[in-house]
Amino acid sequence: MTLLDTRGTGNRAGGPPHRPPGGPAGWLRDLALGARFAVTGGREGWFRTALSAVGVGIGVAVLLLAASAPTLLNAWHGREKARENLGQLHEPRASDRTLRYAQADTSFHGDAVRGRLVRPDGAHPPVPPGLRRLPGPGEMVVSPALRDLLAEPGSGPLRDRLDYKVVGTIGDSGLLGPQELTFVAGMDDRSAGESYRIDRFGKTFDPQPPSARLVLLIVLACVVLLMPVMVFVGTAVRFGSDRREARLAALRLVGADIPTTRRIAAGEAVVGAGLGLAVGLLIFLVGRQAAGAVTLWDVNVFPADVLPAPALAALIAVLVPAVAVGVTLFAQRSVTAEPLGVVREAPVRRRRIVWRLVLPLTGLALLSSLVWEPDPVWFRAVRLGVGSALLLLGITALLPWLVEAVVRRLHGGPVPWQLAVRRLQLSGAAANRAVSGITVAVAGAIALHMVFTTFQAGFAEAYAKSAARPVIELSGSAADAQRTRDALATLRRTPGVTWAHGTIDALAGRAGDRGTRGADGHLSADSATVVVGDCAELRHRAPIGSCRDGDVFVTEPRNGTGRAPGSVRPGARLNLNPPDGYGEAGPARPWTVPDSARRVTAVRHPGEDLPGDVLATPGALSPALLRAPEMKLRVGYDKAQETAAVERIRTAAFHANPGMRELSAIDNPHDRQYAGVRTAVYVGAVVVLLLIGAGLIVSTVEQLRERRRLLSVLNAYGTRRSTMGWSILWQTAIPVVLGLALAVTAGVGLGTVLLTTTETGVRVDWPVVASVTGLGAGVILLVTALSLPPLWRMMRPDGLRTE
């Protein structure tokens, strides 16, 4: 039968009773009735429904964001692919439709600035997306973010560096995100050596396989962020379940059968989930407008790019109501709404720990095996995801056992404590459910923080070591020795610079070695490093003693300093145009190391390159003969004025050659990257904790309402308000404290296992552990404080009135 079918109940005319309509029509009517109950419970009913909707909504918003990842990455990579050309396999000949192209990246106070230089060969060159025309010499077009940065008062050094005339702004199609700092400038002769010819924009996107660390972080972040969301969605749809069960019992009294009450419950759950979907969509649409302002891990995207994949969005739209109904029906498996009340069918049995350990131990085993088994990245990712999920899910299975085991052993104590403990002994399920979400969220947050903190600290140590010596290394193309001398002179004149050295380095092959082609098609040959520089500069590479222009030296490394002794000897024949690259080998350019070349001992200073195999003065070997000669500059600066000096050196280097690359690690970009992600994880954990706190308030207030009469009786007995207030505090605190203890243990354990798998030193982020634990304590106090007004209200004598 279905409920409240007026045709079925009426028999006033004395005829045969109407047969209650069954089948889909009747079921739909029951579902509709349940839906009506969800929105007709007065202010309190609306509050419960709204809280469920907000809880589910936040979960849906996170799921929609996760579902946007494929679209977002496609859009991001698509933009990068469309605007870039890293060089064509066969460089095109100069024509009306080609241009020379070079990179001119720089950085300003740790912010990366992407720079590209262009010089058209003719009147109709290709134009990258976002530009209407290519800038001419001395001109540049900039991204809106760079335009704003250049306009800032503190950006004087950057304005000096990019001293082009701004003639336009790059449109969105030429940017990865609205906060990207990028420019396209007209090329002059300084960068000619860096440039290559292209006839189109758009590269073949060939992503590198992600590193093990990146895979770990991505998989872990997905699992850790989505697990609490799913647990919370499951909890949120059960807000107000006690009241719902009481209502179903009332419906049984007027003739509804058990399947009907289940359909009504399902209808009620679907409304909560449906509203949750709507709220989630709203949160997502509003939230994605802020996407442009957020830079996470140096990734900044346009709001329009944050678009869920249609199939995944459809899956969410179906899955969330299905989960809501499933959870509701699952929760009712041990409950039968009878006409005179709710009967809990499940016998009170002591929870067993054995099967509850299966999930976390399986997870732990999967994660631990990552330590010693070298697998393909995808298989590691699967095991990582499944292992982390099982471990976190296992916590939710362990928590009820832990609460029950601890509470069972608690005896005595003051009256509030006794009331709370007894309440938990009798029915701690609602509190356990809510706290499960806290536990998963906190454990996940702690594990993620541990991983991020350790990685961040590792980078910080490396950068601190690198930056301990006030030296910047620079590298750029070197057409001739004079240009290197000029660059060194410019750098030496720069305020804050204490010294500067530089040479021209290139590779040379053995004469007759045609090279071998690797599996990836790359042609390479056994090579030696040739270094060309004035005597004064060569002395910084090796103790060469007396020297004059025209001299040549070969190095004999000490143990462990490089190539085998005697690898290049006086009289050796070298090819200065060695086979290297994906194309065909160029014509050999033979050069013989003079017999007069002196042997010197190579000394490798800590943090410096190998000294080179052959050291030659320009009089002995012209840099013009070398293939892809590069100037290698080392610039010392005054540590006391590090920030200003470093920016001035960058400006001087840019002016010497805009294509000059900075090789040293002065700014630590990872610090901000990791700090941003850690903040995001922390904010996420706080939001989940607050939501769960809201859920605990609802369940506490519902319990109080059920006990309205008892509270009035206790008030009549003269029970102090503080006694009942403390009782609520303990009732909330006991499961939350146990949950947090479990979360800290599991979080630190998970973090330790994950860091061990990447062979990284384990570092526990104790401040975060303390602050998340403190937040948990805050939730306890918040729940208690917000439960007190309804408690006072329900302790009024009104509850004693029965008439």
Partner 1 sequence: MTPAGSLLAARDLRKAYGRTSALDGVDFSVHPGEVVAVMGPSGSGKSTLLHCLAGIVRPDSGTVHYDGHVLTAESDARRSALRRRDFGFVFQFGQLVPELTCLENVALPLRLNGAKRRAAEATAREWLGRLEVDDVHGKRPGEISGGQGQRVAVARALAVRPRVLFADEPTGALDSLNGERVMTLLTDAARDTRAAVVLVTHEPRVAAYADREVVVRDGTARELAGTA
Nearer to partner 1, 352 or 411 (CB): 411
Shortest CB 733 distance to partner 1, Å: 17
Helix 42-67 and helix 258-289, axial crossing angle in degrees, nearest 10? 60
Which residues touch 349 (CB under 8 Å, ≥6 apart)? none
- Is 734 among the residues that bind partner 1 (CB under 8 A)? no
Shortest CB 725 distance to partner 1, Å: 14
β-strand partners of 502: 633
Nearer to partner 1, 353 or 800 (CB): 800
Shortest CB 419 distance to partner 1, Å: 7
Would you say 617 and 551 are in contact if contact means Cβ atoms under 8 Å apart?
A: yes
- Is 285 among the residues that bind partner 1 (CB under 8 A)? no
- How large is the greatest C-alpha to C-alpha distance in the chain, in angstroms? 128
Shortest CB 332 distance to partner 1, Å: 21
Phi, psi of 38 (to 5 degrees): -65, -25
Shortest CB 413 distance to partner 1, Å: 8
- Is 348 among the residues that bind partner 1 (CB under 8 A)? no
The size of the interface with partner 1 (CB under 8 A), counted in residues, is: 25
Which one among 419, 440, 471, 649 touches partner 1, defined by CB under 8 A? Answer: 419
Which one among 12, 349, 352, 801 touches partner 1, defined by CB under 8 A? Answer: 801
Q: Applying CB under 8 A, which part among 85-93, 303-311, 408-416, 603-611 lies near partner 1?
A: 408-416
Please state whether 131 falls in left (phi above 0), alpha (psi between -120 and 50) or beta: beta
Which one among 253, 314, 710, 770 touches partner 1, defined by CB under 8 A? Answer: 710
Nearer to partner 1, 398 or 714 (CB): 714
Shortest CB 427 distance to partner 1, Å: 8
Q: Applying CB under 8 A, which part among 439-447, 714-722, 748-756, 784-792 lies near partner 1?
A: 714-722
Residues of span 214-253 touching partner 1 by CB under 8 A: none
- Is 153 among the residues that bind partner 1 (CB under 8 A)? no
CA-to-CA distance for 151 and 156, rounded, in angstroms?
9
Cα four-point dihedral sign 66, 70, 76, 77? positive
DSSP assignment string, 426-489: HH-HHHHHHHHHHHHHHHHHHHHHHHHHHHHHHHHHHHHHHHHS-EEEEEEE-SSHHHHHHHHH
Return the CA Rg of the chain: 36
DSSP-H helix ranges across 707-720: 708-716
Site string for partner 1, 425-444 (x = CB under 8 A): xx------------------
Shortest CB 705 distance to partner 1, Å: 13
Which one among 709, 756, 773, 778 touches partner 1, defined by CB under 8 A? Answer: 709
Which residues touch 410 (CB under 8 Å, ≥6 apart)? 417, 421, 734
Would you say 516 and 640 are in contact if contact means Cβ atoms under 8 Å apart?
A: no
Shortest CB 418 distance to partner 1, Å: 7
Nearer to partner 1, 673 or 715 (CB): 715
- Is 803 among the residues that bind partner 1 (CB under 8 A)? yes
Which one among 263, 356, 423, 449 touches partner 1, defined by CB under 8 A? Answer: 423
DSSP-H helix ranges across 68-189: 69-83, 144-151, 156-161
Shortest CB 416 distance to partner 1, Å: 10
Amino acid at 113: V
Which one among 464, 716, 770, 785 touches partner 1, defined by CB under 8 A? Answer: 716
Nearer to partner 1, 267 or 428 (CB): 428
Which residues touch 694 (CB under 8 Å, ≥6 apart)? 51, 54, 55
Angstrom CA distances, 104 to 374, 602, 635, 707, stand at 39, 34, 19, 73
- Is 344 among the residues that bind partner 1 (CB under 8 A)? no
Burial environment of residue 355 by CB neighbours within 10 A (0 to 12, 13 to 18, 19 or more): exposed
Q: Applying CB under 8 A, which part among 229-237, 296-304, 366-374, 415-423 lies near partner 1?
A: 415-423
Q: HSE of 308 in the Cβ direction (CA atoms, 13 Å)?
A: 20
Nearer to partner 1, 123 or 348 (CB): 348
- Is 412 among the residues that bind partner 1 (CB under 8 A)? yes
Shortest CB 710 distance to partner 1, Å: 6
Nearer to partner 1, 10 or 797 (CB): 797
CA-to-CA distance for 47 and 53, rounded, in angstroms?
10
Angstrom CA distances, 39 to 32, 44, 50, 712, stand at 11, 10, 9, 29
Shortest CB 224 distance to partner 1, Å: 36
- Is 705 among the residues that bind partner 1 (CB under 8 A)? no
Shortest CB 796 distance to partner 1, Å: 9
Amino acid at 372: W
Phi, psi of 121 (to 5 degrees): -85, -20
Nearer to partner 1, 243 or 288 (CB): 243
- Is 714 among the residues that bind partner 1 (CB under 8 A)? yes
Angstrom CA distances, 207 to 81, 150, 204, 377, stand at 11, 32, 9, 14
Nearer to partner 1, 72 or 729 (CB): 729
Nearer to partner 1, 418 or 561 (CB): 418
Angstrom CA distances, 195 to 100, 190, 191, 387, 489, stand at 6, 10, 6, 48, 24
- Listed residue (735, 696, 730, 728) closest to 794, CA to CA: 728
- Is 719 among the residues that bind partner 1 (CB under 8 A)? yes
Shortest CB 729 distance to partner 1, Å: 16
Which one among 169, 368, 418, 466 touches partner 1, defined by CB under 8 A? Answer: 418
Shortest CB 267 distance to partner 1, Å: 31
Which one among 555, 715, 732, 787 touches partner 1, defined by CB under 8 A? Answer: 715
Element spanning 186, H or E: strand 182-186
Distance from first CA to last CA of the chain, Å, rounded? 36
By three-state DSSP, how is residue 748 classified? helix
Amino acid at 36: R
Nearer to partner 1, 93 or 411 (CB): 411
Q: Applying CB under 8 A, which part among 249-257, 301-309, 421-429, 680-688 lies near partner 1?
A: 421-429
Nearer to partner 1, 17 or 789 (CB): 789
Q: Applying CB under 8 A, which part among 143-151, 285-293, 319-327, 707-715 lies near partner 1?
A: 707-715
Chain contacts with partner 1 (rule: CB under 8 A): 412, 414-415, 418-419, 422-423, 425-426, 709-710, 713-720, 723, 797, 800-803
